[in-house]
Every structure is written in C-alpha cells, then in structure tokens.
Amino acid sequence: PAHAVRFEDGIPSHARLVSGSLWSSQGAVSEGDPIRVDVGDVGSGVSVEIRFRVRVDPALDPSVGEIVNQGWFRWGTEAVATD
C-alpha cells in the first residue's frame, strides 16, 4: 500500500486545461497548472483512474511535430512517472 498519494501534471506548452474536465475515481481534484489530485491511501492491487482534457492552441505553428506531457505520482519519498 501507498499512503498520502498525490498526482501532479503540468499542462504542456501550446495547450490549456479544459475547465471542469479533471476527474478522479478517488481523492480530491484541483485544477490549475499543475493539476493535482490528492488521491490518499492506495492499497495493493487497487487502481485509481484520473482523466482530464486539454485543448491545443489553434494558432500552434504547424512545424511543431508533437506536444509532450509527463505526470507524476508521489508518496513519501517515492515518485513514479506516468506514461
């Protein structure tokens, strides 16, 4: 089990969070940049689903080939990157 788990994810450049789209199957959500979910305690074998949407800047230069994003789960002294 993991205690006091927190998820954080910065909104990538050239994108913005769609207001009201942050959702989690467990814990309290906080929209901002970064977005945060205070998940709480997670038992062994338990899954927590977190969803959110971003909108890509319509004025994005076509030469930008991709937008990259990385979220993090943190608890205690541990940190694990999301896919």
pLDDT mean over 19-44: 97
Give whole-number Cα distances, 54 to 21, 27, 34, 36, 42, in Å.
Answer: 8, 21, 12, 15, 27
Whether the per-residue pLDDT at 50 is higher than 90: the answer is yes
Q: What percent of the chain is predicted at pLDDT more than 70?
A: 100
pLDDT band at 29 (very low <50, low <70, confident <90, very high): very high
